Amino acid sequence: MLFLSLGLRAQETTIMTVSVKVISGVNAEKISDLYLTDRASSIHDGEIIITTAPRSDVFISVDENSMLTNSLGETFQIETDSLITSDTSSGTSLVSISGSLPENKKLAGRYTGTVTTTIVYL
């Protein structure tokens, strides 16, 4: 299993930073941040490229919801969506993660939170 945590920080723009913990059999080769603003949903999708041995089976899932908390203790939930494309012949998978704030929600201050991507090497 591979767990990816996306830390969320912001002042008006939320930047979801990816950190990777590799257990075995899977490499995360490219990781890019996800940026959110209160004027739109994702302004830049986060991406993770996963490589395994060719013809390997992997199960990839991304949490659909994440909680954000600011320094005043205000919390709210964001929705994340993912598009996962896999080429088993080469052992490469692309995970594209987008997100959106609740309707009419304005960012105020610095936020923290986590979105988890789970990859199971079958």
pLDDT for the residue 11: 45
- pTM: predicted TM-score of the whole model, two decimal places: 0.67
State the pLDDT at residue 89. Answer: 92
Q: Look up residue 6 and give its amino acid.
A: L
Q: Which tens digit of pLDDT belongs to each residue from 46-103?
A: 788 888 888 888 888 888 887 777 777 888 888 888 888 889 899 888 888 877 777 7
Q: Please say whether the beta carbons of 98 and 41 come within 8 A.
A: yes
> For the chain, what is the mean pLDDT?
72
Is residue 98 a contact partner of residue 42, using CB atoms and an 8 Å limit? yes
Q: Where are the domains of the chain?
A: 2-121
Under the banding of pLDDT at 50, 70 and 90, the label for residue 25 is low
φ, ψ of residue 89 to 5 degrees: the values are: -65, -30
Contact residues for 109 (Cβ-Cβ < 8 A; gap 6+): 11, 70, 71, 72
